[in-house]
């Protein structure tokens, strides 16, 4: 072993001798290599399907390496501090060697584990880590349980640990040759750490995670991105100020523009000078009156799985049969890709403002909701959930807005349960018992029932013909959700309150967001059915419909007088020939669609318009085509700004009441 000449003075190392910190650069090389392998594999598995051509792969890898280099500053700063603060003598000792090799193994294992998690996340969301990943981190009990049930975490960790050990072993000779014989001065050590710190500050100030999102294909941009960088960016902007990050206009002009658009759906504004968007709707003699209302919000039931909407796999025979008995909305859309977005839209008829749902923002309680409207009309209102309602702040939100609560804690001796909640059968049996009790009280009832079974790990009770309880995947989850819907209606028909009840069956969101479009609308199409066999004749409703339209539409069917600041419209009384305005959220972007154009508002005050074409004819399989327009439509951009800016202001200023 070489000896150290302690008589020689320490000297500041010139940049050419930064090899004194060789382990740091080795870890950077490992990080970039693993990221390049992951990008290539993601492109092979998902990029080709999203029309990312092979000719783009070299540039994606190059941009990705730049993003990795930026993230390297953050991830390896602790390692740089260790190398800078430890002496050459310590690093040559056995304990120092053990710590070095152990640290290298741990870092490589961590990189491999993050790569694996990124793959599984991309498989589900066609995206790097985003706001969904942040939300999942906030609720680790359900998420970790879901991961453990769906993926072989133990065996995967063991394999990754072995691979990390092999890579560490392969690097052993280079690690053994470090440190060299040249001592490193304190100035050189401080210079390395200080330089990294300055670069980190510069990156924070001037390098947002989406700086190199240069493609018009969303998936291509996701491939070039760095997963941890996207995660921390999402974490920092989880509850961002709309006015600071998104396009805005003069508040009064924006409100006036929004009011003109909302007026197309009727109603009388009662207090516009005060900035109040409340509209008054009179009673309608032709309405059905005070029927009970039950909304079944179905987890992840995208229209692409439903036979009535064109699927040929016969996964939803129960829904398909029910669709012939009620009002089937053939062009219905979710506002987002998360359960909180669906519940927000159903319960509050509110736009999906970026970046977090109002269900989880400060000030979520005591806002205008469908439940409060029904309570004012003499209804008992409730929210029933198959899981624990602490997840996604559900119980706090609904309790703070006039709903009685009943979740998994109230469901005794369920037939089956997994980490997300009891089976849909258990939930629906509980709901029927709950409705029996409400019917005995003599008051009409309104209830939102949120299911859980159609979610990874897609497990449910044994013994259902034709459905695999384990290993059947998303198709089996759809089949079971459909089976439970059929069981609910078969049982409900036996109860005296059935003929006096209006039912809505709709998904909270589609199965997953995928495709090259920035807002992949095909993934947002959902089934939506309004059913009251004793009162409504079956028919198809072809008008474009959003989840935020459900409350105004049902209130219109009942013909009950009400006033509320809802952003949705009664689509059954929509003026013929008038275009619809639909609103969407995807991660940090929000969008407005109208007249075949989609206007997307993003971070940094960006605005972009795309052409959108859906294959005509419904019900039936939908094909969508997007084209990037050379110039944004100024009127559409202003209208989108009016909706989101005004909605955000209404919520933040506590005027949405």
Report the C-alpha gap between 587 and 238 in whole angstroms. Answer: 10
pLDDT at 619 over 50: no
Confidence bin at 519 (pLDDT 50/70/90): confident
198 and 300 fall within a common domain:
no
pLDDT at 229 over 50: yes
Tokens in use for 564?
């509320």
178 and 130 fall within a common domain:
yes
Lookup result for tokens 């500050």: 201
Residue 4 lies in a domain: no
Q: How many CB atoms lie within 10 A of CB 194?
A: 12
Provide the β-strand partners of residue 593.
582, 598
- Rg over CA atoms, the chain: 28
Confidence bin at 308 (pLDDT 50/70/90): very high
Which CATH number characterizes residue 333's domain? 3.40.720.10
172 and 301 fall within a common domain:
no
Tens-place pLDDT, residues 71-99: 888 888 888 888 888 887 887 888 888 89
pLDDT at 592 over 90: yes
Residue 392 lies in a domain: yes
Confidence bin at 431 (pLDDT 50/70/90): very high
Report the C-alpha gap between 18 and 11 in whole angstroms. Answer: 13
Chain centroid to CA 468: how far? 27
Report the C-alpha gap between 449 and 382 in whole angstroms. Answer: 8
Report the C-alpha gap between 495 and 491 in whole angstroms. Answer: 7
Of all residues in the chain, the percent with pLDDT exceeding 70 is 90
Higher-confidence residue: 451 or 419? Answer: 451
* Structure confidence at residue 9 (pLDDT): 41
Q: How far is CA 513 from CA 46, 124, 127, in A?
A: 12, 8, 9
506 and 639 fall within a common domain:
yes
495 and 561 fall within a common domain:
yes
292 and 400 fall within a common domain:
yes
353 and 482 fall within a common domain:
yes
pLDDT at 60 over 80: yes
340 and 302 fall within a common domain:
yes
Residue 5 lies in a domain: no
Tens-place pLDDT, residues 391-408: 889 999 999 998 999 999
Confidence bin at 142 (pLDDT 50/70/90): low
Return the half-sphere exposure (C-beta side, CA atoms, 13 A cut-off) of residue 656.
22
Last residue of a domain, one of 187, 216, 236: 236
Contact 623/574 with Cβ under 8 angstroms?
no
284 and 186 fall within a common domain:
no
* Structure confidence at residue 20 (pLDDT): 65
Report the C-alpha gap between 219 and 223 in whole angstroms. Answer: 6
Residue 8 lies in a domain: no
pLDDT at 5 over 60: no
Helix (H) or strand (E) holding 614: strand 606-614
Report the C-alpha gap between 200 and 206 in whole angstroms. Answer: 10
Residue 9 lies in a domain: no
* Structure confidence at residue 33 (pLDDT): 94
Q: Please tell me the total count of domains within the chain.
A: 2
Across the chain, what does the average pLDDT equal?
88
Tokens in use for 337?
């890709």
225: Cβ contacts below 8 Å, ≥ 6 apart? 64, 67, 128, 209, 210, 212, 213
Residue 657 lies in a domain: no
* Structure confidence at residue 408 (pLDDT): 93
Q: HEC string of 255-320?
A: HHHHHHHHHHHCCEECCHHHCCCCEEECCCCCCCCCCEEEEEEECCCCHHHCHHHCCCCCCCHHHH
287 and 373 fall within a common domain:
yes
Angle CA 62–66–67, to nearest 5: 115
Residue 514 lies in a domain: yes
224 and 368 fall within a common domain:
no
Residues recorded for the chain: 657
* Structure confidence at residue 623 (pLDDT): 52
Last residue of a domain, one of 236, 266, 294: 236
pLDDT at 42 over 80: yes
Higher-confidence residue: 284 or 457? Answer: 284
Residue 269 lies in a domain: yes
Confidence bin at 270 (pLDDT 50/70/90): very high
* Structure confidence at residue 618 (pLDDT): 42
Last residue of a domain, one of 172, 202, 236: 236
336 and 461 fall within a common domain:
yes
Question: Quick one: average pLDDT of 621-645?
Answer: 77
Q: HEC string of 328-364?
A: EECCEECCCCCHHHHHHHHHHCCCCCCCCCHHHCCCC
Question: Quick one: average pLDDT of 416-442?
Answer: 94
Tokens in use for 72?
């390297």
What is the extent of the structural domain holding 98? 15-236
Contact 504/294 with Cβ under 8 angstroms?
yes
**193, 196, 202, 207: CA torsion to nearest 10:** -150
3 state SS of 593: strand
Confidence bin at 235 (pLDDT 50/70/90): confident
Q: What are phi and psi of 619, to 5 degrees?
A: -70, 155
């Amino acid at each position: 072993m070489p000896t150290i000449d302690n008589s020689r003075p320490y000297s500041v190392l010139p940049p050419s001798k930064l090899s004194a910190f060789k382990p740091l650069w080795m870890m950077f090389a490992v990080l970039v290599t693993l990221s390049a392998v992951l990008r290539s594999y993601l492109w092979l598995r998902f990029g080709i399907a999203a029309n990312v051509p092979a000719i783009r792969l070299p540039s994606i890898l190059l941009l990705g390496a730049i993003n990795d280099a930026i993230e390297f500053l953050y991830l390896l700063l602790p390692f740089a501090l260790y190398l800078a603060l430890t002496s050459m003598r310590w690093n040559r000792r056995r304990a120092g060697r053990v710590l070095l090799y152990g640290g290298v193994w741990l870092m490589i294992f961590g990189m491999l584990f993050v790569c694996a998690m990124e793959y599984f996340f991309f498989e589900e969301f066609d995206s790097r880590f985003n706001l969904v990943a942040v939300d999942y981190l906030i609720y680790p009990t359900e998420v970790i349980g879901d991961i453990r049930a769906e993926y072989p975490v133990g065996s995967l960790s063991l394999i990754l640990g072995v691979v990390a050990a092999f890579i560490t072993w392969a690097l052993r000779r280079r690690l053994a040759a470090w440190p060299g014989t040249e001592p490193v001065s304190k100035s050189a050590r401080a210079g390395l750490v200080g330089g990294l710190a300055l670069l980190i500050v510069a990156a924070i100030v001037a390098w947002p995670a989406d700086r190199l999102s240069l493609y018009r294909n969303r998936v291509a941009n996701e491939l070039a991105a760095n997963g941890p960088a996207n995660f921390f960016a999402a974490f920092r902007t989880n509850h961002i100020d709309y006015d600071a990050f998104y396009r805005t206009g003069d508040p009064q002009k924006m409100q006036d523009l929004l009011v003109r658009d909302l007026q197309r759906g009727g109603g009388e504004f009662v207090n516009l000078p005060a900035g109040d968007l409340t509209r008054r709707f009179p009673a309608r003699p032709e309405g059905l009156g005070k029927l009970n209302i039950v909304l079944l919000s179905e987890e992840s039931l995208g229209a692409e799985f439903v036979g009535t909407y064109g699927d040929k796999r016969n996964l939803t025979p129960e829904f398909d049969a029910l669709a012939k008995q009620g009002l089937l909305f053939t062009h219905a859309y979710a506002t987002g890709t998360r359960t909180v977005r669906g519940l927000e839209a159903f319960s509050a008829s509110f736009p999906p403002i970026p970046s977090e749902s109002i269900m989880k923002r400060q000030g979520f309680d005591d806002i205008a909701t469908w439940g409060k409207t029904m309570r004012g009309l003499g209804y008992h209102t409730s929210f029933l959930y198959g899981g624990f309602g602490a997840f996604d702040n559900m119980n706090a939100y609904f309790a703070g807005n006039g709903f009685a609560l009943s979740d998994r804690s109230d469901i005794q001796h369920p037939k089956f349960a997994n980490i997300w909640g009891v089976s849909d059968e258990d939930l629906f049996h509980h709901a029927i018992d709950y409705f029996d009790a409400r019917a005995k009280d003599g008051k009409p009832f309104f209830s939102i029932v949120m299911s859980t079974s159609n979610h990874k790990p897609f497990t449910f009770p044994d013994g259902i013909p034709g459905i695999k309880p384990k290993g059947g995947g998303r198709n089996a989850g759809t089949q079971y959700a459909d089976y439970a819907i059929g069981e609910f209606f078969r049982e409900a028909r036996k109860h005296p309150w059935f003929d006096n009840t209006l039912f809505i069956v709709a998904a909270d969101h589609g199965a997953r967001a995928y495709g090259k479009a920035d807002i992949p609308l095909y993934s947002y199409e959902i089934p939506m059915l309004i059913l009251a066999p004793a009162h409504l004749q079956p028919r198809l409703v072809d008008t474009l419909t959003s989840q935020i339209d459900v409350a105004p539409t049902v209130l219109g069917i009942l013909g009950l007088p009400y006033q509320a600041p809802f952003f949705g419209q009664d689509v059954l009384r929509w003026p013929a020939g008038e275009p619809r305005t639909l609103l969407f959220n995807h991660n940090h972007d929000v969008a407005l669609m109208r007249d075949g154009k989609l206007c997307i508002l993003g971070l940094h005050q960006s605005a972009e318009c795309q052409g959108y074409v859906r294959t005509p004819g419904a019900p039936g399989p939908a094909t969508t085509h997007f084209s990037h327009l050379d110039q944004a439509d100024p009127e559409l951009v202003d209208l989108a700004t009016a909706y989101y800016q005004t909605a955000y202001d209404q919520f933040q200023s506590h005027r949405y009441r």
